[in-house]
Amino acid sequence: MNLARQIEQYLPQQLLELVKDISGQAAERGEKVYLVGGIVRDLLLGYPNFDLDLVVEGDAVKLAQQVAETSQARLLAHRRFGTAKLRYEKFTLDLATARKETYARPGALPAVTPGAIKDDLIRRDFSINAMAVSLASNDYGELVDPHRGKSDLEHRLIRILHPGSFSDDATRILRGVCYEQRFGFEFEAQTARLLKRDITMLDTISGDRIRHELEHIFEENRPELVIKRLDELGVLQRINPSLKGDSWIAEKFDRARHLKKPAQLPSLYFCLLIYSFSERDIERFLARLNIPAKLSRAMRDTLRLKARLPLLDKSSLKPSEIYYLLREYELLAIQANAIASDEKEGTPSLIVHHHLQLFLTKLRYVRTSLDGEELKRLGISAGPEMGKVLRILHKAKLDGEVRTRADEKNLALSLKARDFPTDPEPPWE
């Protein structure tokens, strides 16, 4: 089988020229370059994918260095792993030295030595990802498919390459379910059996690697399908017993995608995923997945705010009260709670939802028109006095008591003479 036609058809011209140039330079060095992994699968499926992985039978780092010297590309090399990234203005190419791998123990990172393309393909996760296409001029476009990947694609099957695959690396369980749901494929019968048998092997995987796979899942168009399936298979529960992939998650993930300005969507999914957690659950989850500090803060804030939502359930709240109640929380946590609270008419948390929305769409953007410099010109001295005036102006603006610059000036001047008898902060501050 030759994929030259698909390569020419699906890859943008500029990208095509880059890989041909790299392959040409490799040939001069007596080396050979292949397209591998997801791009080959997607070329066969006819799906767009500009995320190119190249494997070099030779020395990928030296080749990449040479290419970088003769082009505009920026080079990022990992000599220890035999990998390099070439960053061009519009594209990024990943190059890896063809390698052989052996696993000392389940879940460990494999020991790696240089090898040929077939050695490189046998260490891969599934047959549909274990194909390569030659870029060399003498057999350009030739498919290398030692594990019947093309046939599995045609039969819509996800198949591991050997029975020890999931126990060698249980992240493949998460990856497999991701492909199953993305493409609407099925697990081949023995693969399905071994997947269920090896779910416990997830315990051998580091938090960073599990988190990385969840992030990968959260890049999917509909990650809720993957999460639901992971729940059905008992995979989620192995990661944390309180994780669920039910219809609530499905509905909220869908809503998150339709938010006008979502913060980082994958992080928002994380906040929704733990929405039903107790304090103990969340700490266990954060530790198990080694979640970075900023996201941990947002996830903890999500639950902290959830516990305080009843404070927002009063239609008489002034905008400034809503603002002061919410401003201490991470934006992601407020978005997660806005999504989680009900927006249907007649439901108990509708008011809460409206207040969260009001903060997200309006209140957080409200600024006074006057700044410190202008206040100084009005005779207000820098320091605590100015701080108070600015807070009072901001509060008045939030509550619609001042609208124009002139209103603000008048208010500021009236405050100048006074001794600030009232505290602008609401009672819970």
Interface residue list for ligand ATP (CB under 6 A)? 37-38, 51, 53, 124-125, 129, 169, 171-172
Q: How far apart are CA 162 and CA 102, in angstroms?
A: 13
Q: How far is the CB of 106 from ligand ATP (least distance, A)?
A: 13
Q: How far is the CB of 284 from ligand ATP (least distance, A)?
A: 25
- DSSP-derived secondary structure letter, 108: S
Nearest residue (beta carbon) to ligand ATP: 38
Q: How far apart are CA 203 and CA 106, in angstroms?
A: 10
Q: How far apart are CA 111 and CA 148, in angstroms?
A: 26
Closest C-alpha among 332, 381, 380 to residue 356: 332
Q: How far apart are CA 266 and CA 214, in angstroms?
A: 9
Match 């399908």 to its residue by tokens.
225
245-to-32, 149, 233, 251, 363 alpha-carbon distances in Å:
45, 30, 11, 11, 33
Q: How far apart are CA 211 and CA 273, in angstroms?
A: 13
Q: How far is the CB of 206 from ligand ATP (least distance, A)?
A: 12
Q: How far is the CB of 194 from ligand ATP (least distance, A)?
A: 14
Residue among 101 and 231 whose Cβ is closer to ligand ATP: 101
- DSSP-derived secondary structure letter, 380: P
Q: How far apart are CA 285 and CA 71, in angstroms?
A: 45
Provide the 3-class DSSP secondary structure of residue 362: coil
Residue among 99 and 124 whose Cβ is closer to ligand ATP: 124
Residue among 172 and 252 whose Cβ is closer to ligand ATP: 172
Residue among 37 and 319 whose Cβ is closer to ligand ATP: 37
Closest C-alpha among 375, 379, 417, 376 to residue 394: 375
Q: How far is the CB of 39 from ligand ATP (least distance, A)?
A: 7
Residue among 172 and 355 whose Cβ is closer to ligand ATP: 172
Q: How many residues does the chain have?
A: 429
Q: How far apart are CA 246 and CA 353, in angstroms?
A: 22
End-to-end CA distance of the chain: 70
- Cβ partners under 8 Å of residue 405, min gap 6: 369, 370
Residue among 168 and 330 whose Cβ is closer to ligand ATP: 168
Q: How far is the CB of 246 from ligand ATP (least distance, A)?
A: 25
Query: Is 239 within 8 Å of 206 (Cβ atoms)?
Result: no
CA–CA–CA angle 67, 69, 73 (5° rounding): 65
- DSSP-derived secondary structure letter, 84: E
Q: How far is the CB of 190 from ligand ATP (least distance, A)?
A: 18
Residue among 125 and 301 whose Cβ is closer to ligand ATP: 125
Residue among 160 and 370 whose Cβ is closer to ligand ATP: 160
Q: How far is the CB of 125 from ligand ATP (least distance, A)?
A: 4
Residue among 37 and 115 whose Cβ is closer to ligand ATP: 37
Residue among 226 and 412 whose Cβ is closer to ligand ATP: 226
In which element (H, E) is residue 158 found?
strand 157-158
Q: How far is the CB of 92 from ligand ATP (least distance, A)?
A: 12
Provide the 3-class DSSP secondary structure of residue 48: coil
39-to-11, 173, 244 alpha-carbon distances in Å:
10, 21, 32
Q: How far is the CB of 161 from ligand ATP (least distance, A)?
A: 9
